[in-house]
């Protein structure tokens, strides 16, 4: 399969894309019905770029990352459409062995729960060293030496004396550093960080994010950051994609999206964050619940929760929120949104 021509709807990064996701669809076929987890998302990531993917739980963020890594449980998960291109090569068109050569050395991932992701019966040094033994054919001795070097690199104190310790002997922050060491062991060109600061205190969160940014500066890798933390996104990301009901509903630079949201869901996320200057004010939560992905509402998936919706608006025939699915489209220079009325909100 040949790579498609670059889509004009995919915002460019800072250079030639190293990773491209094109119209990806993933569904889960269960006894209760089909769950449409990812519904046609597209984006690209350039070398050295940080792309943040935001959205409520169940919006498809982690599922799309797992599809990239080839670790979805099949069944029940099925990739029903789209392509994933690494350095221009279609991963879906490659054999499992060829894909394994990419996933690890080319694309790597940090999982959100380090304790459950690490094997409790093997030392952290053995688990880090496995990357070198499996992909580079190193001996156990050389792999252990490289594991110590990586533990030093991610600032685990007394790495040489702790290399034979087990995951339960480390704090949450140190376990996350072990996960980062495993992920960067083979100098990947793309790193996916899925909620890398979950369950960590604020100080440790900052240390972990500073470490990721330092590693990115040193290696030039592209970083996909999946998170709920808008503050972290504002600090470290270049571009942001907002997901809802398995779709990207807004995309642009962090400054543009955070400064003037074009989609009502993004606006709701921004409004639900406490503001220091709004002393005594009330939080404005998004009303309602995220949709059931086995029965996504007709029209715009967000319309049942949207204060901007125009049901059956005679002034805009054929664009009713409850019946017409708005495509993700360019609504301003460098801005894309999947809302019928984004131009009006942005004043363009």
Cβ neighbours of residue 210 closer than 8 Å, sequence gap 6 or more: none
pLDDT tens digits along 258-303:
999 999 999 999 988 777 666 667 778 888 899 999 999 999 999 9
Question: Exposed, middle or buried by CB within 10 Å (0-12, 13-18, 19+), for 311?
Answer: exposed
In this structure, of 88-97, 193-202, 336-345, the range with the lowest mean pLDDT score is 193-202
What's the pLDDT score for residue 144? 96
Percent of the chain with pLDDT over 90: 66
Please tell me which residue, 313 or 122, carries the higher pLDDT value.
122
Asked if 21 contacts 82 with a C-beta cutoff of 8 angstroms, the reply is: yes
What's the pLDDT score for residue 233? 92
CA distance 269 to 53: 13
What's the pLDDT score for residue 282? 74
pLDDT tens digits along 8-67:
333 434 468 999 999 999 999 999 999 999 999 999 999 999 999 999 988 999 999 999
Distances (CA, A) of 207 to 156, 187, 295: 12, 20, 41
Q: Please state the φ and ψ torsions of residue 80, each to the nearest 5 degrees.
A: -100, -5
What's the pLDDT score for residue 271? 86
pLDDT of 318 strictly over 60: no
What mean pLDDT, rounded, does the chain reach? 89
What's the pLDDT score for residue 197? 81
Asked if 65 contacts 255 with a C-beta cutoff of 8 angstroms, the reply is: no
CA distance 145 to 139: 10
Percent of the chain with pLDDT over 70: 91
In this structure, of 68-72, 253-257, 320-324, the range with the lowest mean pLDDT score is 320-324
pLDDT tens digits along 114-169:
788 899 999 999 999 999 998 899 999 999 999 999 999 999 999 999 999 999 99
CA distance 110 to 127: 14
What's the pLDDT score for residue 312? 61
């Amino acid at each position: 399969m040949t790579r498609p021509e670059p889509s004009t709807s995919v915002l460019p990064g800072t250079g030639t894309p190293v990773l491209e996701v094109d119209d990806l669809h993933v569904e889960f076929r269960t006894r209760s019905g089909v769950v449409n987890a990812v519904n046609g998302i597209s984006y690209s990531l350039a070398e050295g770029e940080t792309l943040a993917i935001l959205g409520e739980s169940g919006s498809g963020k982690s599922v799309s990352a797992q599809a990239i890594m080839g670790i979805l449980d099949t069944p029940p998960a099925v990739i029903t459409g789209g392509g994933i291109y690494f350095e221009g090569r279609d991963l879906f068109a490659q054999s499992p062995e060829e894909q394994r050569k990419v996933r690890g050395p080319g694309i790597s991932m940090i999982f959100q729960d380090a304790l459950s992701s690490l094997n409790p019966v093997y030392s952290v040094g053995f688990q880090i060293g496995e990357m070198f033994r499996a992909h580079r054919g190193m001996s156990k001795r050389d792999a252990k030496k490289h594991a110590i070097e990586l533990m030093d690199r991610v600032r685990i104190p007394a790495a040489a004396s702790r290399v034979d310790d087990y995951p339960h002997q480390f704090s949450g922050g140190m376990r996350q550093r072990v996960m980062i060491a495993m992920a960067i062991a083979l100098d990947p060109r793309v790193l996916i960080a899925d909620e890398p600061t979950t369950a960590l205190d604020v100080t440790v969160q900052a240390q972990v994010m500073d470490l990721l940014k330092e590693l990115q500066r040193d290696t030039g890798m592209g970083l996909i950051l999946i998170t709920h933390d808008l503050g972290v996104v504002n600090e470290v990301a270049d571009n942001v994609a907002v997901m809802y009901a398995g779709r990207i509903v807004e995309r642009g630079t962090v400054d543009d999206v955070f400064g003037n949201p074009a989609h009502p869901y993004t606006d709701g996320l921004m409004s639900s964050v406490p503001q220091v200057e709004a002393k005594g004010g009330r939080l404005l939560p998004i009303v309602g619940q995220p949709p059931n992905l086995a029965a996504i509402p007709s029209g715009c998936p967000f319309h049942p929760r949207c204060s901007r919706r125009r049901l059956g608006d005679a002034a805009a025939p054929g664009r009713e929120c409850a019946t017409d699915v708005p495509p993700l489209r360019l609504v301003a220079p460098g801005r894309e949104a999947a809302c019928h009325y984004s131009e009006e909100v942005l004043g363009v």
